[in-house]
Every structure is written in C-alpha cells, then in structure tokens.
Chains A and B, each alone.
Chain A
C-alpha cells in the first residue's frame, strides 16, 4: 500500500512539474507583447531583452516573422539613439539581420513591404556614412563602408542601383587620390596608380561615362604638363628629350578620354579647355585653337545670355 502511495506521489509530482514548465513556456510566448510595450515607452534595452528571450524561449515565436519585424525596429532605434548612428554599431547589423529574417519567414507577405523599406533605409544610412567619409583623410573608411554597403544591398535585394553608386563612388575616390597626389611630395606615383584604378573601374561599368572620361583625361593631361613644369631648366638635352617623350605619351593617353567626354557633353567648357590645352601641349596648334575657339565662343554666349534661371528639379 505504501509502495502504491509512493508511486502515486511520484506521478503527481511529475504532472505538477510538467505543467509548471508548460506555464513557463507560455510566459515567454507573450514576451513579444511586453517588448512592443517597452518599445512604445522608449525602453529600448528592455524591449530588446524581452524580444530576444521570446525568440529563444518560445518555439512558436522563433518562427514568427512578426517577432523579427519588431526586433528589427527595436535594434534600429537603438542604433539611431544609443549608438548615434555609428556605422559599425552592432545594433545596425542586428536590425538588418532581423528584418531579413522576418522577410524570410513572412510567407504571407504581411511585413515584407515594411521590412524591405527598413532594409533600404539601413542601406541608405550606410551610403550616407560613405559620403561623410569622402575626403583625403577618411577615404579609407569610405572604402571599407562601401564594401559593407555592397554586401547590404546585395543580401537585402532592395531597390538601390549599385551600378550607379559604383560609378559615382569610383569617380569620387579617384578624385581623392588625385587630390592626394597634388598635395603630397612623396609616394605620389602610388596615388596616381590608385586614381587611375578607380576611374577605370567607373569606366568598366559605363565606358561612355562623362565624369570618369573627363577625370581620367584631366589626370593624364595634368601629369603630362607636370613632367615639363617639374624639369630642371638646366637639364641636358638628352634628359629633356626623355621627359618630353614621357610627357607626350601621357598627353596622347589623355586624348581619347577627353574626346569621349566631349562627345557626351559638347558644351562642357572644362572639357573644351582641357582639349585646347592638351593639343597645345602636343604641338597641334590648329586643333588646340579649334577647341579654344569653341571654349571662347561658349564663354561669350553664356555671358550674353546672363545666368541660367533656377530649375524646379530639386
């Protein structure tokens, strides 16, 4: 009899324990609602703790796109407020992963639009961080962030034109290297190589791109002239010849780029000025005068017409 009592007691304890565990699990399964409440009250750290616990402890919620959708917003707010938009904030990464996960689970497409818009906003913020670092001091940071941007756009599949971004970015980094070259006394060749690399990268995407053609044309043009202007006036005739040879080779290199830029924008005064200069440098006076005349005529025309009225594009 005692034995039977013991067995019954054991079964009772077991049932009680199992029920308690079940109740605990149910408790976690409402943590998403607590998280939303905390989020509304701007208690973001608390909100994150609740939503993470909900995902980890409640099996049903761990497969719910809504929970990840909420987590994305909590993390994004933490990124903006607590981390003050730090481009390397782990919260940005977490927000990104949460929105992505939500989209992955969202078979009924209930949250996909909002998630995708949020992912796009995250990408745009990275792009903004890139733009903030586009100068001769922080450009390496911009290059690093550009890789993060690429990864984010590719993984999220948001509607952002990577090609257009790459063209602009490569042109800008190329011009930063040109500025570094112009401002430095040492290591100048490597800056030129880097500038050429970035401009050519832009041209690989769009061969007829005006900016890259103009920039690369300018670069070779200016290098051609720099060689001569840097010569020692007392150089012997052989050294002079060698320098002239190098200068003229660079001048010839600049021509196809400037011509292509001119084809794209025949009334661009900078390009006309560059063409007049490089033909002059290459001893082709007639061609130089031709472009100089176009430049002068355009200058007169613009002066005659006064300033262009503002447009309403913006």
Chain B
C-alpha cells in the first residue's frame, strides 16, 4: 500500500521543479533591463541629443541586449525611437545615448570615459567603485535586491539632468 502512495508521490513530484539559476537569471535580466528603461525615462539629455533614434548600446552582455531589444526596441520616448546595439569592444561603441558596461568589460571604462562624456553618453556600469571611473549610474546589490547608485557630478559633466524619482530611489548619490 505504501508503494501505491509512493508511486503517486513520484509522479506528482516529478513535475514540481524549481526554476533554478536559468529562470532566476531571466528574472534578474528583466529587472536590470527595466532599470535601464526607467533611467532613460527619468533622465534628460541635452537638446542636441533629442532628435533621431535613441541609441542604447550594451557592451559585453548579450543576454541583456537580447532581453532589452525584445522588450523595448521600437518603443518611443519623447518622440525618439529606441534602438539597441550589442558590442564586445569599446572601440565599436560609436555614439550612443546610453552605454551599459558589463562587469567583465569595465576595466577599460576609465580610459574611455572622457570620449563617452563628449558623446553625451549615459554610462551605466555594473561593478563596485565604477562611479569613480566615469560611470553615471552603477548597479549595486542592496538587501538582496538589485539597486543603483548615482554620480550626480559625473552626470553634470555630460551634462545630463537626473530626475527626482531616480535620485530618491538611488542607494547613494555622490
């Protein structure tokens, strides 16, 4: 009899699986992408950057690029159409409104920051300490949640105007 219940139990539980790292990864990517989308919505670029397509380049994270491209490509923000590009080299970035730099690619950020600033690019980085290498927004982990910190001074150098909602939600503003 115990066997009958055990068989039923096996059939039942064999379908109950955890999502695992894969789905957790998808969820984390989604959150990251949503953050970047919200950065775009809550930051004002200089007027010269307010025409044409709104370019977002992802450096070194193909999954994030694919996720953002499928969720947001073609959407319009203040009349500008969102366009996404992926690259794995700083030299191929060109002009972009937003550049996301994956952690493994951030070692060259400091030496490229003045060029990026000149191109009026909002740099979003993903590794501790990068606000000091020219990044404007840096992803951090706060209480088991993805959060972000802001360098207001780096933003002013571009110049970019960061909306109050972002300043309020940032874990720190320097």
Is the CB–CB distance between A292 and B21 below 8 Å?
yes
Stretch in contact with the other chain, from B25-33, B47-55, B85-93: B25-33
Stretch in contact with the other chain, from B5-13, B94-102, B111-119: B5-13
B68 nearest CB across to chain A (Å) = 9
B34 partner residues in chain A, CB cutoff 8 A: 231, 233, 235, 240
Does B18 lie at the interface of the complex (its beta carbon under 8 Å from any beta carbon of A)?
A: yes
Contact for B9 among A171, A248, A273, CB less than 8 A: A171
Is the CB–CB distance between B12 and A175 below 8 Å?
yes
Q: A241-B169, A277-B23 are in contact. Are A222 and B144 (CB under 8 A)?
A: no
Contact for A252 among B2, B3, B71, B144, CB less than 8 A: B144
Does B174 lie at the interface of the complex (its beta carbon under 8 Å from any beta carbon of A)?
A: no
Stretch in contact with the other chain, from B35-43, B58-66, B128-136, B150-158: B35-43
Bound together, the chains give a CA A169 to CA B34 distance in angstroms of 42
Does A251 lie at the interface of the complex (its beta carbon under 8 Å from any beta carbon of B)?
A: yes
Does A237 lie at the interface of the complex (its beta carbon under 8 Å from any beta carbon of B)?
A: yes
A270 nearest CB across to chain B (Å) = 6
B58 nearest CB across to chain A (Å) = 16
Question: Interface residue count for A (Cβ, 8 Å)?
Answer: 53
A161 nearest CB across to chain B (Å) = 9
Total A-B contacts with CB atoms under 8 angstroms apart: 129
Q: Assign chain B's interface to a size class.
A: 35 or more
Bound together, the chains give a CA A131 to CA B100 distance in angstroms of 54
Is the CB–CB distance between B25 and A233 below 8 Å?
no
Is the CB–CB distance between A131 and B8 below 8 Å?
yes
Contact for A225 among B2, B19, B72, CB less than 8 A: B19
Is the CB–CB distance between B18 and A277 below 8 Å?
yes
Contact for A218 among B9, B18, B30, B42, CB less than 8 A: B18
A218 partner residues in chain B, CB cutoff 8 A: 16-18
A211 partner residues in chain B, CB cutoff 8 A: 9, 13
Does A245 lie at the interface of the complex (its beta carbon under 8 Å from any beta carbon of B)?
A: yes
Does B141 lie at the interface of the complex (its beta carbon under 8 Å from any beta carbon of A)?
A: yes
B165 partner residues in chain A, CB cutoff 8 A: 236-238
Bound together, the chains give a CA A267 to CA B141 distance in angstroms of 30
Does A228 lie at the interface of the complex (its beta carbon under 8 Å from any beta carbon of B)?
A: yes
List the B residue with the shortest CB-CB distance to A249. B144
**16 A-B contacts, Cβ less than 8 Å apart?**
A127-B4, A211-B9, A222-B18, A222-B19, A231-B30, A233-B37, A233-B71, A237-B165, A240-B38, A244-B146, A248-B143, A248-B144, A276-B20, A278-B24, A288-B21, A288-B24
A: residues with CB less than 8 A from B are 124, 127-128, 131, 134, 164-165, 168-169, 171-172, 175-176, 178-179, 211, 215, 217-218, 221-222, 225, 228-229, 231, 233-238, 240-241, 244-245, 247-248, 251-252, 270, 273-274, 276-278, 280-284, 288, 292, 314
B: residues with CB less than 8 A from A are 1-6, 8-9, 12-13, 15-28, 30-31, 33-35, 37-38, 42, 71-72, 141, 143-146, 165-166, 169
